[in-house]
Chain A
Amino acid sequence: MGKVKIKRKSTLIDMTAMSDVTVLLLTFFMLTSTFLQKEPTIVYTPSSVSEEKVPTNNLVTILISSSDKSGKLENAASVEGKLFISFTGDADSTFSSEKIRGMMLEEAVSIYNDQHKNAPVRLTNQQVAEFTKINMFGVPFSVLPEYLSMSITDRDKFQGDLTQPKVGIPIDGNKNREGRLNEFQIWLKAIYNVAQRINNEQCEGLDAEQRARVQNLYGALMRQGKGIAVKADKDTPFTVVELVFDNLQTMKLNKFSLMTALKSEDEPTQ
């Protein structure tokens, strides 16, 4: 009898199919993903039954920081109510985020300098260019040049430390639209002015498609209240949010939206 020869089988597994599947999955995730925008502080929005989606373009987001949740700070409320603003333009280049941010900054700085003639803020072209790249910011005008000269990591670190008095856009209870505005109101006025200007000047000499885009931007910011979204934590006291509402009302931006998460009708609260 001859010896039975045991065939040695190779243990290699064909990974081609597996690779196909993973590439497909990867493509899916790449196409559907919208990246989380970096925000200086995390807030948990309350939930609501409203099913309207947050628009992805032509949006001004006002973020209100919540009190300290980590329990590390002695006075948890000291970091509460700091304001941050983010401008998002159209996905198209006509009114890209960069362009909108540049326009807003120029307008806001000119209003600020008009009101603070003895301590004007001067920004170099490079600093303005830096500003157009920042998604969300929240520093007073006086700190703006210093803030814009920092490197990206330093900037995040600086803005992330909410205990500093230099972080957060200053706000108070001023109700006089024509008088000396607080810095938050200056930004709101800049939004108002820029929207008006775009609507008035740039409508001429544009083709129908571009005009529609102007109308979109103007409508979002001014009329339908879809262009301004207030984002606050569910545990933030109403008095803090009310101050922001009050300032928005003073600046005649009394149509806006509140960011919420989704819940079903049956649940009482989140």
Chain B
Amino acid sequence: MAQIEPSDKGGKKKKGAQKKMQIHVDFTPMVDMNMLLITFFMLCTTMIKSQTLQIVLPTNEEVKQEQQAQAKASEAITIILDTEYGDNGKPLVDAETGKTVHHIYYYEGVADTTFQTTNFLREQQFIGNVNRQAQGIRAILREKNKAVMEQYEILKQQWRNKEITKEQFDELAKQNSNDSTKTRPVVVIKPGPNCTYEGLICALDEMQINQISRYSIELPTHTDTLLLQEFERRNGRTIIRPTVR
């Protein structure tokens, strides 16, 4: 490992003169060991930290009907979430995109129990953005929350142009989404019996993306089932699948 070599500078050596020694230390084992340690640390560490999504649920205590804040029918939009399952009992994954297939059925206003309106319940999907344009359910929610989103885009532009700081932007965006003078929708998210956790998170994400400050998570009611059945009848498709679990 460490060698001491006599220096071999040519020429004759004087008798009695001390030999000059060169010291070579071989660092190869040291490097080997370091590499091993690096590998260990690289495998054991998490570089990516998880994110969190904050959520506030109402209390479970029974609230009297009169005390409940009733949303205006024109502002309400209800979305029913459903996830398709494959034959193996696992959520179905789209072969093309590699993503789980979620279906969204939504209606605006109060549920139409007379089933007279055509296309009362409509179907959508989580598509995200295509060429920076909102698609699918996002486009519908954005349209509903237009007043807030217009101001939000202006704020975003100001932030991009460095006219306001990130903190100011956050504060103003929050004020904007809670601005009661604007027409804002109230979204009721109803995860169906087959909906996965991912479906719910996607729906909550849409709320955040579209700056919707008023939303709630509820379980589907009997009326919702009837609406889905009506949808099946009109479109000649089976959309209510047996509950997987």
Contacts and interface: CB of A to CB of B under 8 A. Distances in A.
A143 to B, nearest CB: 26
B52 A229 contact: yes
Interface stretch (B107-115, B191-199, B230-238): B191-199
Interface size class of A (residues with CB under 8 A): 35 or more
Interface in B64-106: 81, 89-91, 99-100, 102
A147 B136 CA distance: 50
B205 A238 contact: no
Contacts of A53: 49-52
B125 interface: yes
Contacts of A52: 51-54
A92 interface: no
Contacts of B41: 26, 29-30, 33
Interface stretch (A104-112, A191-199, A250-258): A250-258
Interface stretch (B11-19, B55-63, B178-186): B55-63
Nearest to A257: B52
Nearest to A14: B27
Given A19-B34, A26-B37, A261-B48, A50 B57 contact: no
B154 interface: no
B9 interface: no
B204 interface: yes
A225 B54 contact: yes
B129 interface: yes
B52 A15 contact: no
Main secondary structure of the interface of B (DSSP, over half): mixed
Given A234-B201, A261-B48, A265-B128, A252 B59 contact: yes
Interface of B: 24-28, 30-31, 34-35, 37-38, 41-42, 44-60, 81, 89-91, 99-100, 102, 125-130, 132, 136, 191, 193-202, 204-205, 208-209, 219, 244-245
25 contacts: A12-B26, A15-B27, A19-B30, A22-B34, A22-B38, A46-B201, A225-B55, A234-B198, A234-B201, A235-B198, A237-B194, A238-B195, A242-B219, A245-B57, A255-B55, A256-B54, A256-B55, A259-B50, A261-B50, A266-B128, A269-B99, A269-B126, A269-B198, A269-B202, A270-B99
Given A252-B59, A255-B54, A268-B202, 4 more contacts: A22-B34, A26-B41, A232-B197, A249-B59
